[in-house]
């Protein structure tokens, strides 16, 4: 469900703005000056919609349109080809996404249908409120770059740009350019297609540029931040499995989970996944230090069938199991309750007793923590501190901390700077790519409508000579594309808010 506090704040803000606008417009003394003030600043206000338009960027657009005409011709022709391919690809992608959504709706298993390529984003529902700034800034940047492409392409084709503007609709920001319609109707369909495809082309280029920056970020930050030496803890959830005096702290560098080395965040996740799906690791301890279970009480069976031998409810002891030799070819499983930190500190990991014999000259036994199903005992290495000992479900440890690959080389550097750059680039990649896909859909009121009309005029003029028939074909194609997009949005919203 949509969070009520967020909805109340948005509604209250828009009601306050609209009430102030209504009062000023109805005031006999302030109406004229207020409307003049709005007009002089290019502002327009309507319910849940604020719009600003200016001509101050027209000179910049004209300058960009004159840079290397030959290169610009190749650039926007590339955009034309990309726009046509994207229009076809967006339809295929929406059909696939709709099939996945329907598959998820008809089953109780959310994994059926796989990860969707396109998802409806609702702030506060499937978008954390802590990341709203990333989302809105990246969305606004993607919109500005999109409209920049339209403006420069239009001026190159001798179409006048009346102005550039930005708007806020409910909570979503965006941008637009106002083109002179008369000039636009006089140029050829191919020229129109270059203009209409320029927006999605620039979104695609921005997506690729952000992806390249994200990939090269370790190189760009190399003088200030190092990578490959471990995963740096930047946040620990209070009261979680990793919190506490002997837990993890902000600034710790995790270098290993059991015998799995951790060189970065990807290793951290893969090691936890590996430990979740493999049997519990054992530890080599001297046979002389083992005490049988009767020294602390009789071993008993838990409800899940596993054994426990610690009856003193101690938080520092743990029940270990091992194979006790009875004779030449006979062995019996025995249990011992031992102080866990003393037992595993500095010991070698093992799977069988033979592993211990290969690494130790003294008689050692491979002991394994006796735990409930899916519960694991994990040693977290974060030098120079002693190991953090975790007993529980491994995904709980993963969700308890936030990590980054970037370790500051100097003390004055902020831990969150690389995280900010990484997160922002990821949002730019996803949102700019989504704008390129959605605007390519042959749908009413989107770039895809004008792209389709111009494409039909450029390709069907010799096949279908009657203009009204071409317009009728375009209308039905737009109707189908609009229905496809609307179905994806409606079902996507239902999936996000209802589940």
Active site residues: 147
CA distance 402 to 35: 50
Q: Cβ distance 284 to 362 under 8 Å? A: no
Tokens of 434: 């989504």
For the purposes of burial, counting CB atoms within 10 Å of the CB of 138, is it exposed (0-12), middle (13-18) or buried (19 or more)?
buried
Tokens of 455: 């494409």
Tokens of 223: 């003088």
DSSP code of residue 445: T
Number of Cβ within 10 Å of residue 305's Cβ equals 8
- Specify the pairing of strand 364-369 against strand 317-325: antiparallel
The enclosing H or E element of 365 equals strand 364-369
CA distance 18 to 330: 85
Residue-wise over 253-274: b if at least 16 C-beta within 10 A, else e?
Answer: bbbbbbebebbbbebbeebbee
Contacts with 187 (C-beta within 8 Å, 6 or more apart), sequence order: 157, 158, 159
CA distance 10 to 6: 6
- Specify the pairing of strand 407-408 against strand 225-226: antiparallel
Sheet containing 256-257: order of strands: 260-261, 256-257, 376-381, 388-392
CA distance 105 to 92: 20
């Amino acid at each position: 469900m949509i969070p009520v506090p967020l909805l109340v704040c948005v509604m209250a803000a828009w009601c306050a703005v609209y009430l102030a606008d209504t009062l000023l417009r109805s005031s006999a003394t302030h109406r004229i000056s207020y409307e003049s003030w709005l007009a002089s600043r290019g502002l327009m206000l309507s319910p849940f919609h604020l719009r600003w338009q200016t001509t101050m960027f027209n000179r910049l657009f004209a300058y960009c349109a004159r840079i290397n005409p030959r290169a610009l011709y190749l650039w926007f022709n590339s955009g034309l080809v990309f726009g046509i391919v994207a229009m076809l690809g967006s339809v295929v992608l929406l059909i696939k996404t709709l099939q996945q959504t329907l598959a998820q709706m008809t089953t109780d298993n959310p994994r059926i249908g796989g990860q969707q390529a396109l998802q409806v984003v609702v702030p506060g529902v499937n978008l954390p409120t802590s990341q709203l700034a990333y989302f809105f800034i990246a969305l606004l940047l993607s919109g500005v770059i999109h409209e920049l492409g339209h403006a420069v392409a239009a001026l190159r084709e001798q179409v006048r740009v009346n102005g550039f503007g930005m708007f806020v609709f409910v909570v979503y920001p965006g941008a637009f350019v106002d083109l002179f319609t008369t000039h636009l109707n006089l140029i050829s369909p191919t020229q129109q297609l270059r203009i209409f495809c320029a927006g999605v082309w620039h979104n695609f280029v921005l997506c690729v540029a952000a992806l390249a920056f994200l990939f090269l970020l370790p190189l760009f930050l190399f003088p200030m931040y190092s990578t490959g030496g471990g995963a740096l803890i930047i946040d620990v959830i209070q009261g979680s499995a990793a919190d506490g005096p002997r837990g993890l702290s902000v600034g710790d560098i995790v270098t290993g989970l059991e015998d799995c080395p951790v060189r970065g965040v990807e290793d951290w996740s893969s090691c936890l996944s590996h430990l979740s799906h493999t049997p519990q690791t054992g530890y080599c301890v001297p046979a002389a230090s083992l005490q049988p279970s009767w020294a602390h009480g009789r071993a008993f069976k838990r409800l899940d069938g596993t054994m426990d031998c610690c009856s003193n409810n101690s938080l520092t002891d743990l029940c270990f199991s091992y194979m006790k030799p009875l004779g030449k070819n006979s062995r019996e499983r025995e249990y011992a309750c031992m102080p866990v930190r003393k037992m595993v500190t500095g010991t070698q990991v093992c799977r069988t007793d033979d592993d211990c014999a290969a690494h130790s000259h003294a008689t050692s036994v491979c002991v394994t923590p006796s735990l409930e199903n899916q519960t694991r005992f994990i040693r977290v290495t974060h030098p120079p501190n002693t190991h953090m000992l975790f007993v529980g479900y491994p995904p709980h440890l993963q969700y308890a901390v936030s990590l980054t690959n970037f370790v500051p080389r100097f003390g004055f550097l902020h831990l969150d700077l690389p995280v900010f750059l990484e997160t922002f680039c990821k949002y730019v990649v996803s949102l700019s790519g989504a704008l390129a896909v959605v605007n390519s859909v042959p749908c009413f009121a989107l770039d895809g409508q004008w792209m389709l009309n111009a494409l039909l005029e450029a390709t069907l003029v010799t096949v279908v000579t009657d203009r009204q028939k071409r317009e009728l074909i375009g209308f039905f194609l737009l109707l189908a594309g609009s229905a496809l997009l609307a179905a994806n949005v409606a079902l996507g919203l239902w999936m996000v808010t209802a589940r």
